[in-house]
Amino acid sequence: MRLLAVAVSVSAVALAAACGADEQNQIPAASGSAPVESRPPNAADQQPAFAGQTRAPGVRTEAALAHTVVASGLEEPWGLAMLPDGRWLVTERPGRLRIVTAEGAVGEPIAGLPAVDARGQGGLLDVVVGPTFAADRLIYWSYAEPREGGNATSVARGRLSDDGTRVDAVQVIFRAMPAYDGGAHFGSSLAFDRAGHLFITLGDRSDAPMRPQAQDLGSHMGKTIRINADGSVPVDNPFVDREGARPEIWSLGHRNVQGVAIAPNGDVWTVEHGTRGGDELNLDRAGVNYGWPIIAYGVEYRGGPINEGITAREGLEQPVYYWDPVIAPGGVAIYDGAMFPGWRGNLLVAGLKEKHIARLVLDGNRVIGEERLLTDLGERVRDIAVAPDGAVWAITDEPNGKLVRLAKAS
């Protein structure tokens, strides 16, 4: 095991008064605060479909915040999940799963995981603790699985041994189809809802020949998936009775979804990567088509329009919010802690490219404020979780990746 030194950085931010707002989360009037994004958009001629769909007013947390680097030396960590005893499961993309204590002790790699295809964006991806862990100690993880003809995203589960050194009785419960020989856009984030359904987010595999599969119900590519914990298909999935459709599909028309969170009311929130512009926040609903690659905000990486260059079409869903330029969103969490009561119900989105956590304030299903947190860390934030005490924990996607705790300054 490795025990890492702790580094602390404190940043206090002041907040202009707003009548009647919580002391830790004051929201300016719509005509007041400028958005936190000041860079020009890549697609300057595109207009949002409705007010507030992009560049929401900036908000600030009044309380002083401090981040603590609890552990370092992790190689490209990707997924983060808390065990019931307060320790953290952390995946490393090259194929290692470790347990990290809240004090920063980093365990040896957990044995028993299947092989991963760790190239490009592939490798060991997300991890979640099963809803019945107290009874069966099952954990679930997603990964790029080497296959005949290439690779694809798979999800496995196994029993974490009592001493946390290995997983046993490993079972692959989902395999995205078809396989493809590529190294990009695997997704893949995992979340259980309160009924025990497992949501799996997938990418379109990036390359031009694969993009159209995001619209093909016969392919898992570019979809959100919903299965039962044992891998079986829920009978109320939207395409169960559709001939030629993959029954595991929940929604379609996605580019590369790397974050999913389930709200207490059952709402499914996902974030996905755009090209140059067009990162999206979606309220991910059963049977809905989110449009990729027919409609999209932003432009191609090489410049120029995406397909027809349109951002809306009848029958295709608009994102709740989008970023142009991109922040490159990783994981997403819904804040429900006591440490920052004014954040309750806010979305926390990991920003890889822009190296921050985006706090999104919601009014119903609309974003009405945005704040950038953890900006002084200066590292790619990959995944986020909220601890029982209300502190926010994050991992950074770096060769020397870190586990970080963000909390009130003491």
Chain centre distance of CA 71: 21
Asked if residues 281 and 367 have their Cβ atoms less than 8 Å apart, the reply is: yes
Enzyme catalytic residues: 185
87: tokens are 């320790």
The full 3-state SS of the chain, as one line of letters, equals CEECCCEEEEECCCCCCCCCCECCEECCCCCCCCECCCCCCCCCCCCCCCCCCCCCEECECCCCEEEEEEEEEECCEEEEEECCCCCEEEEECCCEEEEECCCCEECCCCECCCCCCCCCCCCEEEEEECCCHHHHCEEEEEEEEEECCEEEEEEEEEEECCCCCEEEEEEEEEECCCCECCCCCCCCCEEECCCCCEEEECECCCCCCCHHHHHCCCCCCCCEEEECCCCCCCCCCCCCCCCCCCCCEEEECCCEEEEEEECCCCCEEEEECCEEECEEEEECCCCCECCCCCCCCCECCCCCCCCCCCCCCCCCCCCCEEECCCCCEEEEEECCCCCCHHHCCCEEEEECCCCEEEEEEEECCEEEEEEEECCCCCCCEEEEEECCCCCEEEEECCCCEEEEEEEECC
